[in-house]
Amino acid sequence: MLCQHYDLQLEGADSAFSVDASNVTFGAGCLAEVGDIAKGLGMGRVAVYTDAGLVDTPHLAKVLSSLRAADVDVALYDEVRVEPTDESFRMATEFAVGANVDGFLSVGGGSVIDTAKAANLYSTYPADFLAYVNQPIGHGLTVPGELKPHIACPTTSGTGSECTGIAVFDLLEMKAKTGIASRTLRPTRALIDPDCTATLPTNVVASSAFDVLSHALESYTARPYNHRPAPSSPTLRPSSQGSNPWSDLGCAEALRLLGLYLVRAVDDASDAEARHQLMWASTLAGIAFGNAGCHVPHGMSYSVSGLCESFQPEGYPAEAPMIPHGMSVIVNAPSVFRLTAERSPQRHRDGARWLGADTDDVGDGEVGELLAGRIVELMQQTAMPNGLEGVGYSVRDIEPLVDGAIQQRRLLDNAPLDVDREVLTAMYTGAVSYW
């Protein structure tokens, strides 16, 4: 635990943190174990969620044959929408209700895993759609009890969704991204097979790697758990509880691995070592942010992706304009860390060093610039968009972007500084372009 004033407990603040351990199996080829695991969890008939891009892949074939071998019945739903919406969550829920299953299985990226979480929630505890959605957009009601077992099998090295209790979606009528956050949504088991990343397009690897990078940096620099007001009851301690010694461990190692392997994994699909290490970094960062929570780069990303009108990245479905989650996050990150560094220079210095920057002879006042500069360097080396302009926005769009982001209180309140409209405006302004 770091000994510095920044981490000292504040009066009236929480004095403990909770560790929600993820139940993870990690290793090349482990998807073949899914049938036995499903059986062990008591699943007789399982809803398998995936998307159209994965339906003909060997990954799904391996999962289905393992389930068949274990005599587990399958109801296959292959219509998960990449970047899901309230409407697509509803459709996935209807499928679960009609399929009469006793368990859930997701094979895909964060969109697929989040969709299975939502389908599990709303089919188990039916409610008005906004009931469990985060405030202030939704009602933020507590989930009444445990959900059915869910095995998550991620096929991208990014979202960490297999280790978190968060499901993110676009609320269509508000053109806003928001989410549902509850410990009960965390998948029962995560089955992480790094072989799945061998066939991913370059741009998908890059975008998801920057999502990992930001998960780790945001969790590590989040408002410390012992600065957050104590909950009125221990059961109300949020999973976004702030930076804490448990999450710090995962953040440190994830950032070190990203510093070593991010560019290599993007550059060369045949570099199995780099892609496997990226998958492990993603797992560690997922465990970390599942217990600490993200903050402003993710809070800002929701309106960046929600207001997208024309951007169409390579390597993603071409049906409609979209900004992949990792890109919508990383375009904000350098600007945010420039401004948050003064709250905890040592933590920002650690982050820069783990990512490969030379931190010798850098004063506390220069640490924010150093970390921002290192992230920008990695973005340039992997052909990421140059800030907000790179994904189709200009300074004229800052006001609507702020309007959307200011609603993301769960994330903004986890930041190391107070975030109001003025701060958000400064952060978006600093993110317009970097080079």
Residues that bind Fe ion (CB under 5 A): 211
Taking the chain, what is the end-to-end CA distance rounded to the nearest angstrom?
A: 37
Backbone φ, ψ for residue 295 (5° rounding): -140, -120
Instruction: Kindly state the smallest distance separating residue 160's Cβ from Fe ion, in Å.
Output: 7
* Closer by beta carbon to Fe ion, 46 or else 168: 168
Distance CA 252, CA 247 (A): 9
Q: Which residues contact 359 (CB under 8 A, 6 or more apart)?
A: 349, 352, 353, 367, 370
* Closer by beta carbon to Fe ion, 193 or else 211: 211
* Closer by beta carbon to Fe ion, 48 or else 285: 285
Instruction: Kindly state the smallest distance separating residue 335's Cβ from Fe ion, in Å.
Output: 17
Instruction: Kindly state the smallest distance separating residue 301's Cβ from Fe ion, in Å.
Output: 7
* Closer by beta carbon to Fe ion, 162 or else 211: 211
Q: Is 71 left (phi over 0), alpha (psi -120 to 50) or beta?
A: left
Instruction: Kindly state the smallest distance separating residue 240's Cβ from Fe ion, in Å.
Output: 13
Q: Biggest alpha carbon distance in the chain? A: 63
Check: CB of residue 36 under 8 Å from CB of residue 151.
Answer: no
Look at residue 192 and give its three-state secondary structure: strand
* Closer by beta carbon to Fe ion, 211 or else 413: 211
* Closer by beta carbon to Fe ion, 103 or else 334: 334
* Closer by beta carbon to Fe ion, 104 or else 210: 210
* Closer by beta carbon to Fe ion, 324 or else 416: 324
Instruction: Kindly state the smallest distance separating residue 223's Cβ from Fe ion, in Å.
Output: 18
Look up residue 179 and give its two tokens. 């989410």
Distance CA 155, CA 153 (A): 7
* Amino acid at position 404, single letter: G
Instruction: Kindly state the smallest distance separating residue 214's Cβ from Fe ion, in Å.
Output: 7
Instruction: Kindly state the smallest distance separating residue 177's Cβ from Fe ion, in Å.
Output: 11
Judging by beta carbons within 10 Å of its beta carbon (0-12, 13-18, 19+), is residue 96 exposed, middle or buried?
A: buried
Check: CB of residue 282 under 8 Å from CB of residue 17.
Answer: no
* Closer by beta carbon to Fe ion, 105 or else 212: 212
* Closer by beta carbon to Fe ion, 83 or else 211: 211
Helix or strand run (H / E) with residue 257 = helix 245-267
Instruction: Kindly state the smallest distance separating residue 211's Cβ from Fe ion, in Å.
Output: 4
Contacts by 140-149, CB closer than 8 A, 24 or more apart: 142/182, 143/182, 143/184, 143/185, 145/184, 146/184, 147/120, 147/121, 147/184, 147/185, 148/101, 148/102, 148/103, 148/104, 148/120, 148/124, 149/41, 149/42, 149/43, 149/102, 149/103, 149/104, 149/188, 149/189
Look at residue 256 and give its three-state secondary structure: helix
* Amino acid at position 40, single letter: G
Instruction: Kindly state the smallest distance separating residue 155's Cβ from Fe ion, in Å.
Output: 16
Instruction: Kindly state the smallest distance separating residue 262's Cβ from Fe ion, in Å.
Output: 15
Look up residue 58 and give its two tokens. 């060997």
DSSP codes, 44-74:
SEEEEE--TTTTTSHHHHHHHHHHHHTT-EE
Instruction: Kindly state the smallest distance separating residue 329's Cβ from Fe ion, in Å.
Output: 6
**Beta strand extents in 279-388 (DSSP E only):** none
Looking at beta carbons, which residue is closest to Fe ion? 211
* Closer by beta carbon to Fe ion, 211 or else 350: 211
